[in-house]
Amino acid sequence: MHSDDDLYYYDDEEEAMEDDDDGGGAWQDEVEDDDPLPSVERPPEFSAIKKESLSVAQQQDLSMVMGVFNIKQHHARALLIHYRWNTFRLNDHLERKGQDRMLTEAGVVLPRENKTTAAPPPPPASTTNKQPSRKKTKTKTKKKEASCNVCFEDFSPHAMSAMDCGHSFCDACWTGYFVSAIGGGSKQVRCMEFKCPAIVDEEVVHHFLGRKDPAMAERFQDLLLQSYVDDNSAVKWCPSVPHCGRAIRVASAELEMEPLCEVECPCGVSFCFRCAAATAHSPCPCAMWERWDAKGRGEAENTSWLCGGATGADHTWTSIAGHSCNRFKEEDKKKVDDAKRQLRRYEHYYKRFESHRLSCTVEREKIGPAVAKRVEELESHDSILIKDASWLSGAHRSLLACRRALAQSYVFAYYMFDAEETATVPPPEKGSLSMAQRQSLFEDYQEQVERNVEKLSELLGKDVMDMPDEDIVKVRQNAVNLVRVGETHCGKMYGCIQDELLPMLVEPMSIASFQPGGPSKAAELPA
């Protein structure tokens, strides 16, 4: 790790080169860099769905599956839940497995077909007209009662109901069963018969609950709607507090699991789509960020993928402190020294993380409104060269994205570069970079990102409206240069983490790709 004095060291030659630039040429070509800008993976498209629109989005998928498979809505829902609402996978498996196998694997039992036979032809006319007259006798036929295998009571056929699978029970037992199942949070109610996988028709459940417990019928409807989010790998609730009432859907066809990407809800909250953490935490992997977040809340840390762990050291210090001085042994002293070392190390990374996090807050809440005001003022300027203020808002977005990534890179470094914290493997090939060399490469990129972020923050803090036009053009030129250089270094830092450092971990991990300008914005889905 570089010293604190090195963190804010500026290269005089580099700064002089930027200050002497005359601003000529196209903006995209203003920075001459031997290293090309790292390729940026195109982010998926996101849509924000309000709660009142969820039923519409859900019904679209249900109707499509009902039409393709020629099945009822509750069977279509069971099939979609089994495939986590991934219609691409569903269509792919239909071609490879066939409909019958897919329905069986999803636990869908189709209703038995009612075999109808043709009515017998009427007897010949001569026979019917010449029947001998006889006295009609009335025969009393007793209605046959059926027994319910749950309550063991006998009922008339009108008080018994059979489901698609053919199993029949009394209406009272069905109603009680539905109330119990929905009260327990079941989104799919299966037949009461032992080991019967058949799913009860949603309309039947609504019918019985509507008569007995309308509130429970409403809860059932909410559970069905909730399944579109909870059982869907392409939809996540926004983690905003208080909740904004939106779910975010990613438009990606081949989703086997939640995609590793970051998104910004229209309410302004950015989050990780994979782990649903209420913070977009790249370039820190989800597992590391969960531990950091738990550490910040004072919760116990899960050390299943680590060797040793700082948790033991933290608690050791507390337990050792209560020992009598006369009872110290050599191993006790070593444990205390280790605990102190871990504490100092944590403070080292936490201070840098917190410093950049607070700077990001200031740049968003104070510099942001000031930049927006300057954009409006520049757009009303007489000069065509000055009127285009997109560079200013773009530079501010880039500043926030790089500052956030920089802060969270210290969380990654805290867990990555300590053998007691994280289990690693030796370099895979002879001649490949050692862990120390990989760490040095990462810290070089981290320092370069930090240097450019501080320069860009200082530049955006200036009031360009008080400057002559030629100075505004120079500021614009410097801002465009700093954005390009900063995003280049930030992309390289991400690449170093993904390609050089994460492969060294025993437990496989990955990070969301770097997106200049911050996480993708979800577009509101029309109601």
Residue 142 corresponds to which tokens in the numbers above?
């007793």
Nearest to 249 by CA among 515, 186, 279, 261: 261
Q: Could you tell me if 305 and 287 are in contact, meaning their C-beta atoms sit under 8 angstroms apart?
A: yes
Q: For the chain, how long is the longest CA-to-CA vector?
A: 125
At 221 the three-state DSSP class reads helix
Nearest to 55 by CA among 253, 222, 186, 203: 222
Q: Could you tell me if 342 and 350 are in contact, meaning their C-beta atoms sit under 8 angstroms apart?
A: no
Residue 48, strand partner residues: 248, 524
Compute the distance between CA of residue 102 and CA of residue 65 in angstroms, rounded to an integer.
12
For residue 384, what pLDDT is reported?
73
Return left, alpha or beta for 85; rule: phi > 0 is left, psi -120 to 50 is alpha, else beta: left
Nearest to 40 by CA among 368, 491, 483, 412: 491
Residue 45, strand partner residues: 251
| DSSP 8-state class, residue 63 | H
Per-residue pLDDT of the chain (527 residues; tens, 9 = 90+): 444 434 333 344 344 344 444 433 333 333 444 454 455 555 678 999 988 888 888 998 999 999 999 998 989 999 998 888 888 888 888 888 899 999 888 888 887 653 333 334 444 443 334 443 333 334 444 557 889 999 999 999 889 999 888 899 999 999 999 999 999 998 889 999 998 888 899 999 999 999 889 999 999 999 998 889 888 888 999 999 888 989 999 876 555 567 788 999 999 999 999 998 888 999 999 999 999 998 887 744 443 444 344 444 444 444 444 445 555 567 777 888 888 888 899 999 999 999 999 999 999 999 999 999 999 888 887 777 778 888 999 999 999 999 999 999 999 999 999 877 788 888 777 778 888 999 999 999 999 999 999 999 999 998 888 888 888 889 999 999 999 999 999 999 999 999 999 999 998 999 999 998 889 899 988 76
**pTM of the full structure:** 0.72
Q: Could you tell me if 80 and 283 are in contact, meaning their C-beta atoms sit under 8 angstroms apart?
A: no
* Residues with Cβ within 8 Å of residue 315, at least 6 apart in sequence: none
For residue 527, what pLDDT is reported?
65
Tokens 């609402």 -> residue: 85
Compute the distance between CA of residue 69 and CA of residue 367 in angstroms, rounded to an integer.
56
Q: Where are the alpha helices (DSSP H) in 433-518?
A: 435-460, 469-496
Residue type, 232: N
For residue 445, what pLDDT is reported?
96
At 170 the three-state DSSP class reads strand
Q: Could you tell me if 503 and 247 are in contact, meaning their C-beta atoms sit under 8 angstroms apart?
A: no
Tokens 């869907």 -> residue: 232
DSSP string, 177-229: HHHHHHHTT-SSPBPSSTT--PBPPHHHHHHHHHHH-HHHHHHHHHHHHHHHH
CATH number of 283-302+338-511: 1.20.120.1750
Nearest to 498 by CA among 432, 409, 423, 403: 409
DSSP string, 302-322: P-TTSSS-HHHHHHHHHHHHT
Instruction: For strands 235-237 and 523-524, give the pairing.
Output: unpaired
